[in-house]
Structure 1
Amino acid sequence: MPVIGINITRIEFEKKIPPFPGGRIEVNLSPKVKDMRLGEIRTPTGKTQGIEILFKYEITYRPEIAEGFIEGAVMYLPPRREEIDEILDTWESERKVKPEVFTEVVNFITHSVAPMLFVIAKEMGLPYHVPLPRIDVKGHNPGGMV
């Protein structure tokens, strides 16, 4: 896995109005790359260079009952060491991230912050960012077996 760690540096959420019962509430997640730079991490075999990717993961609600964000950094190690300069040069000149790098990084960030988002939503009385599984009773089954 090319992403080897995450460092959360800031979490901010604000509830603007209390959620109202009924009606549809939409939760949007918007991950953004803020910056990329050469990074270094210590491993058991010594120091390893990679790309430190600074991110902002925004969470918005529609209607506007709340908003928030999580900021931090991840360390990305490309499959080939030679790609570090290529990725950083593209970022510096065009402010673009290769789709495969963006996908890998965003999937890692989402997997890492999803539990925090559940706790924050629960504590603030907000809808969850993904629907939880629910069971429904479709008919009466006295034996309880399907």
Structure 2
Amino acid sequence: MPILGHNILKIEFEKLQTLGGKIEVSLRPTIRNLRLGEMHLPSGKVKGIEVDVDYIITYSPEVARASIKVRVFYVPRNKEDIDNILDEWEDRKVLPGELVAEVVNFTTSELMPIAMYIAKEMRIPYPVPLPRAVVRGE
């Protein structure tokens, strides 16, 4: 797995109003910045890319809003790609699909349990729908 670690930088949830009825929730992870990084492991230093991600949760109607900022340490499968990825980002703000998929999937799986717990405590709708059992008539 190319992601070796992450740091949550900021979590912000705000409850605005209480409404009934249908509430739509959308999740929008956005990669804000990339930079060369280094992680110290027991086996030595590892060079990689630090990826800053803003995870925005919006509600419609606006009953709440939330954002989570996280930094992910990404190591491409081919170490020589680090410079190419950073150059492409600096020149054109373009990222390889593999990096985007890995980072978004990782941050979603790591942050959703936290977001669901906070939403439960604040009595706002969960950011992802929970499965519900339905009794069917025979």
- TM-score with structure 1 setting the length: 0.91
The answer to whether residue 114 in structure 2 is matched with residue 116 in structure 1 is: yes
Unmatched segments (≥5 aa) in structure 2: none
Listed as ranges, the matches of 1:4-15 within 5 Å are 4-15=4-15
Unmatched segments (≥5 aa) in structure 1: 141-146
- Which aligned runs of 4 or more in structure 1 are off by greater than 6 angstroms? none
Match of 1:17 in 2: 17
Match of 1:63 in 2: 61
Match of 2:44 in 1: 46
Give the SS at the match of 2:87.
helix
Match of 1:125 in 2: 123
| Superposition CA RMSD, Å | 1.1
Give the SS at the match of 1:138.
coil
Give the SS at the match of 1:35.
strand
Give the SS at the match of 2:57.
strand
- TM-score with structure 2 setting the length: 0.96
Match of 1:3 in 2: 3
The answer to whether residue 76 in structure 2 is matched with residue 78 in structure 1 is: yes
